[in-house]
Every structure is written in structure tokens, then in C-alpha cells.
Structure 1
Amino acid sequence: MNVESVSGVRDRAARLSAAGALIEGPLQGYHHETYVFPLPDPDGSGWAGTVRWKCREPRLDVPRFDLRSFVREGALVRALAGRVSSVPETIEVAEVRLQRFIEGATLGTYRGPGTAVAEPHLDQIWQLFRELAAITPRSLAVERLGPAEEWAADGDCAAFAVSLMRFTEERVYLAHLPVYGELFAALGVTDRGLRRLVARASALTARPFCLLHGDLHRENLVVDGDGRLWTIDWELAMFGDPLYDLATHLHLMRYPARQEAAVAARWATAVESVRPGAARGWRRDLPLLLDYKRVQSVYTDVIRAAGAAGAAAGGSGASPGAARRVRTVLARAGEPLGLAEIPTVGWIAEVLTAWRAGPPA
């Protein structure tokens, strides 16, 4: 991502590295501006080994579509040291917190969405779920956002799910209606599907809460040169229903159908082994949480596609890629949204282009 830095993170990287030519970045990323660099030896004679470190901070100019739970991601990551084995280590240099940069490639580089994941990597993903299930709200002292009385009570999975659905309805759909309302309407997207999901959520099974990563997809899993899997980007972590983390993972990973069924079953075994009751009722409740993730993706991807439409063809039309992404999320969420039919890619591109040409004031 070749963008000009508008924050001080680039300056901090230059100050710590003492060699601007060795700084890599900003790295590709939606929510953060990130730079990677080696640290000099204390005596100034060279560079401290082959390890590189990353310095990053949130971008302030991108829409936020997900509920945040922790005040500072860095504080959470530091608290996970020794408890989650796949979190890269952190250090502090000159009052700047850095995290070790994993030299490797994301899991998506090896196996993109829709393809099977190799068994050695699956074993490490299940280990991550075991470690997360062992971290309870009472056992992790990290500052959380909002007053405690607004958090769902431990085990109240219905209240937890409803809070997420209400956030999507109010902060994503309704909040963006003034700008994107005509586009949503043209695509047949309303909040009726969300309201139906809220009604269904009242029947969710009670499961003990644990720490959730909240965004566990192939680009947040990095494979190093030894085949070890590392977990990055914890900004959407929260305490809640462990089944929600599985639903998010399955939705984002898009395993082949047979492997998805095996992953879900192994997840249940993994979390139950360390937290009895963590997988209670999972077969019955998983479809509802998957429906929510599919509906949530429609709102966020339509808004992002509208932005992509402005960037395509000098701002005069929608890219085929953006239209295909919208059709994919509409097709996956067609049933919970109550869509009678899924429009074609060409028709969606025309709608995006027309909206871009004359959005509501």
C-alpha cells in the first residue's frame, strides 16, 4: 500500500531504526499503518541480529464495522505472553512498544479462501482455540471499553449475540443510511434479516465465556520458515461466546465443505478439553451465528465496494472485482436476508456506477 504517512509512526520507526533505508512500509493493511525495521546494536556497530520489529498505529480515516472490546490492543498482546503460544513477542524501546515481525507468508499465500488447509496448520489452529478457551474474563486483567454493566454476563450467549447484532444494525446499517441508503435499497438490502436474527438469538445455549480473537482468517495467520503458525492482529479480540469465534473463523476461512465440518467437530473437542461446556449446543447454534456473519458481511462489503467504485476508472465506474465481491456476499446471505433472487455481477456493477454518479447529498 503506497500511501503517504499522516501519523507519527513513520517518524518513530526512523528514529528507532537509525537507518531510514532499512525501513519497510507502510505494509499492506486496512486498519493500521505499519512499518518494519531492524534495531541497531546498542554500541552502534551494526544491527542486532536478523530479527526485525514492527511499529504500527491505527488508521483514523477508515470506517469501523466491528465492536471493539479492549482499550489498547498492545496491552492485550502483552498480557497474552506465556498464555497464547502463537503471539509474537513484544519489547519496549525508548518508550515505544514494538512487536517481533514474523518472517514468512500468510496462510492465505499458501492456501487461499475456499481451499483446504494442511493438517499441520490445522493442528496449530486447534491449539490456539484451546489456549483461548482457557482464558476467562476473570483471569485476564486488561482494561476493557465501556462500563462493566453493559457487558453481557458470563455465559449469557443470547445477550452477547444480540449486542453484536444491535451494533451492526445501529452502527453499520443505520449509521450509514444517509449516504448508502439508496444503494442498499437498490440491492434489496434492509435490516429485516438482522431483526429476525435478533429474535432467533434469544434461544442460544449458555456457554462459559472465554477470550475470542474475533478476526481469525488466513491473512492473520503467518507461517514462518519452520512451518510454525503465528497469530497477529488482535484488535477485534473480546470476551464472549466461544462458538462465535468458530463462526467467524469458518465464515472468513471458507474451508471446503468436508473440511469445514471436520474443523467444527475438532474445535468442539479442543475447547471442551480445557473448558467443559464451551461447546455445549454448538451444532444447533452454529447456523444462526454463521447467518449473522453472512449478513454482517453484506453491509460492510457493500460500503467498501462503493468506495472501490469511486477508485475505479478514474471514479467513473465500478470495478468487476467489487461487483463480484458484492454478489458473493449477497449469495451467501440470501436466505437470512430474505432475498428472492441474487442479482448478476453486471447488474450490480451498473448499480454501483449509478450510485457513484449521483449519491444522495
Structure 2
Amino acid sequence: MDAREVEGPLKGYHHEAYAFPLPPENPLSARWARGKLRAPRPGVLWFDRRCFDSEDRLLIALQGRIARIPETVEVVPDVFLQGFVEGRSLGAGPLSGRTLSSRHESQLAQLFQEVVAIKTDELDRLVRTCAPGGHPAADGDSAAFLNRLIDFTAEDVHDRHARRYGALFKALGVRRSALDALRVPAGRLTCRPFTLVHGDLHRSNFIAAEDGDLWTIDWELAMIGDPLYELATHLHLMRYTQRDADRIGELWAQAVEAARPGAARAWRQDLPHLLAYKRTQSVFTDVIRAAEALGPRDGPNWRLLPRAAWRVRRALAAAAGPLKPESVPTLAQVVSAYTNWLRAPAP
């Protein structure tokens, strides 16, 4: 193969991916012009709980059950090849909050419905999952599910990185107690039957294929849990207008209730609690990611600082309710916080 035919590394946080033409003898070549190989990026930080050990094995288990997901084959033991979806991600372009087309909204509703219809006990037989701590205590215990998400963010995100980023958290008014405060409403969440959850339905994980169909990629954060978490994550990441968010909420509720009665139970009442968690989680995540993106403290890329600070400031503003700061830092104050942190001696 000519190296010039290989495209990559493709944009992604957890993995590096490369696309290349498929030879005629490859089993995917009859349906895909190109394949995609992915490899974990070394040293990358994980900010979300994971439930499945292998995204590729999950995709194989979901073939024929969920439409428009990458077809995957195991070419040699533990090496997988995905069909490459030719098209354009919905995250391409400057209009991050734009409305979905009616065709894409309909296919999004189909995705919501197909995901919750998956029998989770069947997945347990088909896909090797992580340690028991990765699963909620009991099926349908939505409060326990949210509490475990809070535990993960508090312990595996904040506490694990507090020594390195503690001064930055403090300068930005990001306190661990904001996570603990989310546990009060969590105890009043309504029980819903647990389902498969993609967990990362943002615009860059939707590909508008050349024929106009909407494909869903990157299932590495999939889990078993409260189906309402899917809606909360989707609304948080998509940055819809309020009008569009209301319509998508209704679309989700109708779709999942038809496939799994009870999956949308009390969704309007409980959605604000899950959204508060997502907005708070994003602050902890974005503060660290922004610092990592700037490079080493003894030689940061200062040109990246304005854009990184803007993203952090946006996350702080979105989470102002659950974080309860005295005031949301201005963009200049965020830039100053990172500048001081970069110039201070490393702990």
C-alpha cells in the first residue's frame, strides 16, 4: 500500500485512527471503500467511567441491532478493523448549535429507540465488561447510578489530579464540594430500567454520510445505566437552542418509551439533576484538558491559551448553578489563572 493513501492520524482524544483503502480480499471491501484502524493514545487521561473493555467487541455485538454504526471485524486476535464512514461530521463548521435536519432528527430518534431496546443481559454474554465496580448496584436504581458517576468524578478526576491542578482549581473557584452537593437530589431520582447508553453523543460522533444518512461512531464510553443519562449527555454536548433541546427531549421520551416502557419515567423532573452533574463534570474535565493541551509547564504553547481559556470560561458559565461561585471568572481572569499556574513551580 502506498503510504500516501493512508489518512491520519484522524482527530480523536482517546485513540489515534488511520483510514486506508481496503484490498479486495478483505471481508469488508464489498461494502466499504476504506477501513479504519485505531490504537489507544499512550498516557491519555480518562474522565468518564467505562463499562465495556472493548469498543470493537461491543460494535460486533451490536451489528444488526443498531443501524448505521461502523461494521467491525477481528482480523487477527485482538486487532480490529472498522469500516470507514465516508462523509462529514456534524461537528465540522462554525455553527455548533445548529438545528438538525428533519431526516437526521428522525434517525436520531431511531438510534435512541434501538439503543434502549438492547437486552443488557444479552450484552453481558457477548461482551466482556469491566470490574463489578463499573456497574450500578441494582438494575433501575437511578440514584445509585448517578452517585457512582459523582464518585468517579470526585475520586478519579479531582482527587487523582488535585496535587498537580489543585491551585488551578482553587484559582478558578472549582470546588470538590460542588460534586458532593449533587448527591442530595440524587437520592430522590425516579427508578428507570437500565439500558445500554452510548454516553458520548456529540456532533463529532455523528457522521452525515455521502448519501445523507446519519451514522454514529465512537462507542468507547458506552455503559449500562439510567437511559436518561443519554439524553442529559446529548443535550449538554450538543449545545442546542432551548427550543431545539425541548423538541429533542420530547423526541427522546417518545422513542425510548415505545421501545422500553418506563425508560422515560419522570424524565422532565429528573433531567435537571443529571444535567447539573454533566455541567459540573465538564468543568473538572475541561480545566485539566486545557492545561494538558498547553504542553509542559516549562515550555507551554502560549498561542493556545486564549482558545483554551475561552472553553474553560464557557464551561464555568454553564455550571454556574451547581458550582455556586461568587461570580463566574471573566475570560481575562481565566487566562490569568492559567498563566500563574504555568509560571509557578510544579508541585
Give the structure 1 partner of residue 328 of structure 2: 342
Question: What are structure 1's unaligned runs of at least 5 residues?
Answer: 1-17
Following superposition, the deviation at residue 116 of structure 1 comes to 1.4
Distance 1:42 1:259, change over 3 A: closer
Instruction: Select which of 187, 208, 225 maps to 1:223.
Output: 208
Q: How many residues end up aligned between the 2 structures?
A: 341
1:175–1:19 distance in 2 versus 1, CA, 3 Å: same
Question: Deviations for 1:78-122, whole angstroms, at most 9, x for unmatched residues?
Answer: 000000012121234355421100110001226742221111111
Question: How has the CA–CA distance of structure 1 residues 91 and 166 changed in structure 2, closer, same or farther, with 3 Å as cutoff?
Answer: same
Which of these residues, 280, 289, 302, is aligned with residue 295 of structure 1? 280
Structure-2-length-normalised TM-score:
0.93
**1:324 aligned partner:** 310
Task: Report the CA distance shift for 1:124/1:111 in structure 2 as closer, same or farther (over 3 A).
Answer: farther
Structure 1 range deviating more: 25-34 or 133-142 = 133-142
1:278 is aligned to 2:260: no
Q: Percent identity?
A: 50
Q: 1:258 to 1:60 in 2, by over 3 A?
A: same
**1:241-260 mapped onto 2 (5 Å cutoff):** 241-260=226-245
Cα deviation, residue 38, structure 1: 1.2
Alpha-carbon distance between aligned partners in 1 of 2:35 and 2:226, rounded to the nearest angstrom: 33
Q: Is the 8 A contact 2:297 2:342 kept in 1?
A: no
Gapped regions of structure 2 (runs ≥ 5): none
SS in 2 for 1:329: helix
Q: 1:182 to 1:250 in 2, by over 3 A?
A: same
- The C-alpha deviation readout for 1:120-146, integer Å capped at 9, x for no partner, is 111111100000110132132211101
Q: In structure 2, what is the equivalent of residue 107 of structure 1?
A: 90
Is the 1:250–1:260 contact (alpha carbons within 8 Å) kept by the matching residues of 2? yes
Tell me if the contact between 1:316 and 1:353 (Cα under 8 Å) persists in the aligned partners: no
Partner AA of 1:55 in structure 2 = L
Residues of 2 paired with 1:106 and 1:311: CA distance?
31
Rounded Cα–Cα distance in structure 2 between residues aligned with 1:288 and 1:22: 47
Match of 1:356 in 2: 342
Distance in 1 separating the partners of 2:251 and 2:119: 21
Are residues 1:177 and 2:159 paired?
no
1:117 to 95, 100, 107: 100
Q: Cα RMSD (Å) of the superposition?
A: 2.1
TM-score by length of 1: 0.90
Aligned equivalent of 2:12, options 3, 25, 29: 29
AA at the equivalent of 1:177: A
Say which is worse superposed, 60-69 or 109-118, in terms of deviation: 109-118
Q: Structure 2 vs 1, CA of residues 308 and 21 (structure 1 numbering), >3 Å: closer, same or farther?
A: closer
**Deviation of the 1:171 alpha carbon:** 0.3
